[in-house]
Amino acid sequence: MSSLAKALSVAILMGTAGQAAAVDNGGPIDRALVAIKANPVPTRYSTSDAFATRGVTIDRNGTEHVRFARTYKGLPVIGGDLVVHSRAGTFKTASLMQAKPLSLSTTPTITSSQAIANAGAQFGTGFDSVPTSRLVVFARKATPTLAYDVLYTGKAKDGTPIRMHYFVNAANGAVIAKENAVQTGTLPGTGYGTGNPPADPNVTPVVGTGRSLFAGVVPLDVQWNNTRRLYELKDPTRGNTNITDMGDGYRGSGGLVGIGTQVVDGDNKWGNGATTDRVSAAVDAAYGFAKTWDFYKGKFGRLGIAGDGKGATGAVHYLTKYSNAFWSNDCFCMAFGDGDGVKIKPLVAIDIMGHEMTHGVTFATAGLAYVAESGGLNEATSDIMGTMVEHFANNPSQAPNYLIGEAIYLPVAGNPPALRSMFKPSLDGISDDCYPDGSDPAYLDFFRSTGVYAGGGKDVHYTSGVGNHFFYLLAEGAVAPAGWGAGTTANLTPDKLVCNGNVALTGIGREAATQIWYRALTVYMTSSTNYANARVATMSAAADLYGAGSAQQNGVAAAWDAVNVH
């Protein structure tokens, strides 16, 4: 990392999630609120708006970045969030996607019951709790609309929980958008504080030994519970990150996924390296959690998913033969299936662990909506950071690469090499290497979830290919990974790795690419960021870290060009 990047990253530590108690966020927040009102055009401010702070970042040079959620006449504005950037009290710019200031009636024409019924017609009959609704302003489209946010919860056919938000036009009852709050790791299917939670006098941090399914024999930071006289797979050195066992079930005692049952042991020797011991998968989960925590702390000074020093819960053995993993914002937790045992192994490989934890980081920062292009960027962020966690761990048992979830596939005929590949996303037959060029307007609408595909469109696991591909090219250039280049079965020559013919594209390295993406996510992206705005966000991040016109910023521009994002 350059000296400029190092200096800036230290400064980010001061402002991210309140990690330095000496920093008074009241000043930056007050200045940002004044800037919003003084600059109504770039901030889309109306006199009926109010703002709630979601985060403050202060660079060493004094530049302040304050993230806000917006309300209008007391109603939440979906897509109205923004980041105000200023320095020395002078407004610089704002990052947001809301198209214009709000001016609309907040009196609905249809009732809440009608909205719930209309949403239910799309959800079906498999809901497992009483649906709820609230009035909001939906501002992700060019024309902001008064809408009901209707929440249905249930399960998909494979057992994946669903918490589907339907946005129903409060004037005519049409469903204008939908978004699932449960974010999966494989297929379709904020608090601010500092330090670790208070120490429990009845527990003692100790180091155990784990035999994992994927990572080999690994040390584990666990705790001895003096009351229970047992070791618990709970990490007091990383915010009480906790691993539980769902017992092949769907619900525990904590709601949507529940907390499951605490994984415990009598001799502090965990697992046997095979699925014959249920604890082996838990070892992988604990190892992956620890490495992901250390990655975010070491690279960005971030303490935990929300940046508040608190760990999350990871539940293994979710359902029976469940071939997926997911993050839920509502329980601040993750769950991991065991796979079907025929084609799929337990989904606790380290890149999947990093992927799921990163969904939480995204939720706590940019809040990228899990739909349309922002959803593709959400998934790409998890793939990018999950892959970088794998590189950070550099475990010989899980050699780092640019494949997602390659370790979970059993060696049987017909299995793909991985869930996804970053260097050539279309190897799966459906993901996009490049942003659609518009020659097929119907497909462009499908990709963007616009037009007749509004509220639906292409799955975010596949539109993520553009972001994944960009990151690979930014880091490595138009060079195929070992075993995938010219003369191999894949025969990926440079011309097959770029969308614009720039076969001479060179990378800037993983470290710089990772720093740029993280800063773009945490400082410039908002909930509705699309690919064009992701380009703007990463260009700004590169200028902050390495300077305007630097090789790194030029590399960002060239990599986006190579995937048709202009």
Give the residue numbers annotated as catalytic, written as ranges.
356, 461
Distances (CA, A) of 75 to 36, 104, 166: 18, 12, 16
Query: Is 170:110 a contact under the CB 8 Å cutoff?
Result: yes
Bridge partner list, 70: 51
- Helical axes 510-519 vs 460-476, angle rounded to 10°: 130
Q: Is the Cα dihedral 89, 95, 99, 103 positive or negative?
A: negative
Both tokens assigned to 82: 């923004």
Question: How is residue 198 annotated by DSSP?
Answer: P
Question: In terms of Cα–Cα distance, which of 527, 536, 528 is closest to 565?
Answer: 536
Range list of β-strands (E), 259-369: 261-262, 264-265, 269-270, 313-316, 325-328, 333-336
CA dihedral 557→300→82→23, nearest 10 degrees, is -140
- Helical axes 510-519 vs 551-561, angle rounded to 10°: 80
Q: What span, in angstroms and rounded, lies between the C-alpha atoms of 290 and 202?
A: 22
Question: How is residue 566 annotated by DSSP?
Answer: -
Q: What span, in angstroms and rounded, lies between the C-alpha atoms of 482 and 395?
A: 18
Instruction: State the DSSP H helix or E strand holding residue 293, giving kind and residue range, or none if neither.
Output: helix 279-300
Bridge partner list, 56: 66
Query: Is 162:182 a contact under the CB 8 Å cutoff?
Result: yes
Q: What string of DSSP letters covers 468-508?
A: HHHHHHHHHBS-PPTTSSTTSSS---HHHH-SSS-TT-B--
State the first-to-last Cα distance of the chain, in angstroms, to the nearest integer.
Answer: 27
Pairing, β 49-58 against β 230-232 = unpaired
Bridge partner list, 489: none
Query: Is 136:167 a contact under the CB 8 Å cutoff?
Result: yes
Q: What span, in angstroms and rounded, lies between the C-alpha atoms of 33 and 68?
A: 9
Query: Is 64:25 a contact under the CB 8 Å cutoff?
Result: no
Bridge partner list, 261: 245
Q: What span, in angstroms and rounded, lies between the C-alpha atoms of 32 and 51?
A: 10
Q: What span, in angstroms and rounded, lies between the C-alpha atoms of 384 and 473?
A: 12
Residue 365 has phi, psi (to 5 degrees) of: -120, -95
Q: What span, in angstroms and rounded, lies between the C-alpha atoms of 286 and 291?
A: 9
Q: Is the Cα dihedral 258, 264, 270, 274 positive or negative?
A: negative
